[in-house]
Amino acid sequence: MKEISTVGMNGVEKQKLLGNLLGSVGNENIRGHHIKYFEEKIVSENEESCNDVATAPNYYAWLCLISEHVFWLMRHFCFRQDDLSGDDLSLQYNDIVTAFCDKCRELNLFLENDLKELYGLMVKVLYLRHALVHNGFPNLLPAGCETLQVRNMPFFSKTQNSPLKFTEDEAREIVSWYSKPGNFRRAKEDFRRITNATCKGPGLSVGF
């Protein structure tokens, strides 16, 4: 376990670090509790048999919450494995995926093929969040599709030279798949794999 000393920090820096630690962990616990609630409701209300999200309110709410949860888990992983640098809690879509993959390589947490598969899941899940927050879900707005032409996909590694682009067909395929409540259990497994990956790596001990 790595130890982080706060001896050289001033009062403001210590307070900020404490706020980042308590805030990120506390928020994760709250989201995790609510995610479990929605998962139980999806099953009890038999929403997996629904044709689309329009008739599956718990499934829709679960998608919104768990995609946000995974987004923050990835940020927190980078924060935890980068000696609690507050900048990691502000990482955006592309940077967070690249930072996550590079940190996993540095710590030898996965075989390269396994990391590549995990990368594909993260890109898919974070595009889902982007659609939910920015581009419209389940009906992608035209403006959202237009921005795909200029958006790069996250680099799998900082050493990658040529960026790949999202395509409208790929975006619509991702949104269409997650729009089907019948895919709940497979989607849950995707989120579980990413969640488990964010739990890997050495722990930290912080002394105040």
Q: Strand pairing of 2-5 and 204-207?
A: parallel
24 in Cβ contact with 32 (< 8 Å): no
Instruction: Give CA–CA dist 170/127, Å, rounded.
Output: 10
CA nearest 76: which of 197, 162, 208? 197
**C-alpha distances in angstroms, 82 versus 103, 120, 132?**
8, 23, 29
Side chain identity, residue 20: N
**C-alpha distances in angstroms, 19 versus 87, 90, 91?**
14, 14, 17
Residue 19 parent element (H or E): helix 11-44
Instruction: Give CA–CA dist 64/68, Å, rounded.
Output: 6
Contacts of 75 (CB under 8 A, 6+ apart): 24, 88, 89, 90, 91, 96
From first to last of the 208 residues of the chain, give the pLDDT tens digit: 556 666 666 777 777 877 877 887 888 999 999 999 999 999 999 999 999 999 999 999 999 999 999 999 999 898 888 777 778 888 888 889 999 999 999 999 999 999 999 999 999 998 899 889 888 899 877 766 666 555 677 888 777 766 677 777 888 899 999 999 999 999 999 999 999 999 998 765 555 5
Instruction: Give CA–CA dist 106/100, Å, rounded.
Output: 10
pTM: 0.86
